[in-house]
Amino acid sequence: AGLESSERDPNLDRDGYKPGIENSDRINATILSLVRNEELDGILQAMKDLERTWNHKFNYPWTFFNDVPFTEEFKKKTSEVTKAECRYELIPKEHWEVPSWINMDLFKESVQILKENDIQYADKVSYHQMCRWNSGLFYKHPALKDVQYYWRVEPNVHFFCDVDYDVFRYMQDNNKTYGFTINLYDAPKSIPTLWPETVKFLAAHPEYLHDNNAQNWVTDRIRRPNHNQLANGYSTCHFWSNFEVGDMGFWRSQAYEDYFQHLDRAGGFFYERWGDAPVHSIALGLFEDKSRIHCPVLRFRDIGYQHIPFFNCPNSGKCKGCVTGRFTDGEAWLNKEDCRPNWFKAIDRDHPRRP
Ligand code: GDP
Ligand code: MN
């Protein structure tokens, strides 16, 4: 039996949280989204889901990034679906443009090989630029200079479950660097030299390898049901980075900066199709303490999420619109792309029972 609405403290919303952007309990964090003007409907949908399930209780600001200016319509419509502050940021040219040392003739030749291997988006320069920016540049944007934690959101993703606690505060209080929901294998042909380059980097910088790393998850010769080849030594397991809650302190560390510079010079963001997911994941698996990486699935009642074609749908009365335990609504073989069991093994936890 709740209070009648007339008796309710006018300073609290229905969930007992103080509404409004004046709330001073927030920690230093933002929701962020790299998005195109043309994806307005998709980002509105994702925003509405995250606002309904979580952010209306906390009002963390939204920071939108784009390589071209946002339209007035984009700004108006997005700011209408949240009470929180919205920031619209242009990416500096020098963060987005193809670096001077990339040879575009070689790029075009490489695209042919990638296409023969069915690597999606290989011929879209902007896709390579996006992967590079998400790997090593987003957290260097001046608008994030004084911000520590972020939650990455893409257009068209879904959030299904009510989350009643401050996820950023959870990260801070529990000393977490990174949180993920979905963990997958990658297409080995998109990253053939990523691991060999990583091995070179490690040889030059053995001091960056963390004592409590998750190296097994990165290198294990696990039987991979569909493609039993590894990517030249890399398991291809990666945190699916369209969902990320993270502490930018890790990306800003000397270890990660040196690693990114090494990879960037090696050219694989363009001559191959290195994604930010495997790059982030390898770095976390090698240079971070694995106990600082959080998987909400272990608690079994947490952040319900979908980016086509995969789901994280926990067993919880707080979720609406997804099927508990479902991993994909695509073709059946996609179920075998789940790499979470290997993660649980790497961190010495049993794979949680399927509900
Ligand atoms: P996928 O998830 O790998 O299929 O790739 P997406 O097309 O979803 O792109 C990943 C993210 O980067 C999404 O948030 C897109 O909105 C964003 N994105 C990709 N390319 C560009 C681009 O050229 N400009 C901008 N502003 N955003 C982009
Ligand atoms: Mn996407």
Global pTM value: 0.91
266 closest CA partner among 343, 193, 208: 193
Mutate to test the pocket of ligand 1, among 150, 154, 182, 184 (most ligand atoms within 8 A of CB): 154
Sign of CA dihedral 108, 110, 115, 121: negative
pLDDT tens track for 80-127: 999 999 999 999 999 999 999 999 999 999 999 999 999 999 999 999
How far, in Å, CA of 21 to CA of 349, rounded? 39
Q: Which residues line ligand 1 (CB under 6 A)?
A: 34-36, 39, 66-67, 126-127, 130, 154-155, 242
Closest residue (by CA) to atom 12 of ligand 1?
A: 34
Neighbours of ion ligand 2 (CB under 5 A): 154
Q: What is the pLDDT of residue 14?
A: 43
Residues of the chain with pLDDT under 70: 1-24, 221-229, 298-300, 349-355
Token couple for 50: 């995250």
Q: What is the pLDDT of residue 231?
A: 85
Q: How far is CA 212 from CA 45, 100, 258, 293, 346, in A?
A: 39, 37, 20, 11, 11
CB 169 within 8 A of CB 149: no
Q: How far is CA 320 from CA 245, 292, 315, 336, in A?
A: 22, 29, 11, 25
User: Per-residue DSSP letters for 62-73?
Assistant: EEEEESSPPPHH
Token couple for 179: 């949180």
Out of 39, 51, 197, 244, which one is annotated catalytic? 244
15 closest CA partner among 127, 166, 119: 166
Token couple for 30: 């933002």
**Residue 288 annotated as catalytic:** no
How far, in Å, CA of 272 to CA of 201, rounded? 18
CA of residue 126 relative to chain centroid, distance:
18
Specify the ligand 1 atom closest to the Cα of 33.
14
Q: What are phi and psi of 161, to 5 degrees?
A: -115, 140
Q: What is the pLDDT of residue 176?
A: 96
Could you tell me the distance, in angstroms and rounded to a whole number, from the CA of residue 124 to the centre of ligand 1? 11
Give the ligand at the shortest distance from the Cα of 130: 1
Q: How far is CA 326 from CA 5, 93, 310, in A?
A: 38, 41, 8
How far, in Å, CA of 279 to CA of 262, rounded? 12
pLDDT tens track for 279-333: 999 999 999 999 999 988 766 678 999 999 999 999 888 999 999 989 999 999 8
How far, in Å, CA of 294 to CA of 302, rounded? 12
CB 181 within 8 A of CB 265: no
